[in-house]
C-alpha cells in the first residue's frame, strides 16, 4: 500500500450510506484523526477535514464496565453512540443512531473476524443483516502500523483506508495522529465510527 491514497481496485457500485446521505461526497474525503494518548476515558478523538476544521469528536465514558463512545458533530450534538457488548468473545460492538440504545436505532455491529488473529481484523454487519452469515464490510491490515483498509464485504472494493501521519508537535503533546481517506460516495461518519471501534479492539488486544 503506497502513499496516503490508493485508487479503488473497482468503483463503488452504489453509494455506501449507513448514517445519512448528507455524509456522502462525490469526491475523496481526506480526514485527519487525532487521539489523545493520555485520556481518563481512553477514547477521546478529534476528526478534522482538509482545512483543519473540526467535523467530528469522540468522547468516552469514565470508569464503566461496559465501554461507551459517543460520536459528536462539530456543534457537539450526538450523531452515533458505540457500545461494547460485555463478555463478548469477538469483542463485539453495537453502534446506534444518536445517543440511543434502542434496538430500532441500531445501525450496525462490529466484531472480530476470528478469535485467534495476529492482526486486528474486523467484520461489520448492518442492522438488517440479522443472519450475519456474510459481512457487509471488512477491515484488513495493521492498525498498529496505521496501515489498513476497509472493504465492501469480502470484495476487493475499498471504501476507505488509514495511513500514518507524524507531526513533531503532536508527538511532543502526547497525541497520535493519522490520516483516514474516505473514497467517493462513502459515508464518512460511518467510516469514522469504524475507526473508533477498531482503536478500541486494538487497545484491548494490547492490554492482554
Residue 188 scores a pLDDT above 80: yes
Mean pLDDT of the chain: 82
Top pLDDT among 70 and 165 is at 70
Please tell me whether residue 105 adopts helix, strand or coil conformation. helix
Separation CA 208–CA 71 (nearest Å): 26
Sign for the CA dihedral angle at 88, 89, 90, 91 comes to positive
pTM confidence score:
0.85
Q: Supply the pLDDT for residue 3.
A: 43
Separation CA 71–CA 188 (nearest Å): 12
Buried b (16+ CB within 10 A) or exposed e, 54-87: ebbbbbbbeeeeebbbbbbeeeeeebbbbbbbee
Asked: is 30-207 a CATH 2.40.160.200 domain? The reply is: yes
Q: pLDDT per residue over 87-144, tens digit each?
A: 656 578 999 999 999 999 999 999 987 665 566 689 999 999 999 999 999 998 887 7
118, burial (CB in 10 Å: exposed 0-12, middle 13-18, buried 19+): exposed
| Domain range summary for the chain, segments of one domain joined by + | 30-207
Residue 153 scores a pLDDT above 50: yes
- Per-residue pLDDT, averaged over 154-173, amounts to 75
Query: Which of 58, 97, 104 lies closest to 200, judged by CA?
Result: 58
Q: pLDDT per residue over 40-65, tens digit each?
A: 544 578 999 999 999 999 987 654 55
Amino acid at each position: 500500500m503506497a502513499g496516503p491514497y490508493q485508487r479503488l481496485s473497482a468503483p463503488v457500485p452504489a453509494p455506501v450510506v449507513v448514517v445519512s446521505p448528507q455524509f456522502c461526497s462525490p469526491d475523496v474525503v481526506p480526514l485527519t484523526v487525532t487521539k489523545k494518548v493520555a485520556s481518563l476515558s481512553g477514547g477521546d478523538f478529534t476528526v478534522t477535514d482538509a482545512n483543519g476544521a473540526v467535523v467530528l469528536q469522540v468522547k468516552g465514558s469514565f470508569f464503566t464496565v461496559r465501554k461507551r463512545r459517543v460520536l459528536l458533530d462539530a456543534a457537539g450534538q450526538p450523531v452515533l453512540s458505540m457500545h461494547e457488548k460485555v463478555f463478548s468473545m469477538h469483542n463485539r460492538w453495537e453502534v446506534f443512531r444518536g445517543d440511543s440504545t434502542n434496538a430500532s436505532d441500531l445501525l450496525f455491529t462490529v466484531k472480530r473476524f476470528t478469535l485467534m488473529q495476529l492482526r486486528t481484523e474486523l467484520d461489520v454487519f448492518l442492522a438488517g443483516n440479522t443472519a450475519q452469515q456474510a459481512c457487509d464490510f471488512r477491515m484488513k491490515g495493521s492498525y498498529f502500523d496505521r496501515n489498513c483498509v476497509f472493504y465492501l464485504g469480502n470484495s476487493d472494493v475499498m471504501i476507505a483506508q488509514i495511513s500514518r501521519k507524524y507531526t513533531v508537535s503532536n508527538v511532543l503533546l502526547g497525541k497520535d495522529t493519522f490520516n483516514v481517506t474516505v473514497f467517493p460516495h462513502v459515508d464518512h461518519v460511518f467510516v469514522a465510527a469504524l475507526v473508533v471501534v477498531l482503536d478500541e479492539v486494538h487497545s484491548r488486544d494490547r492490554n492482554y
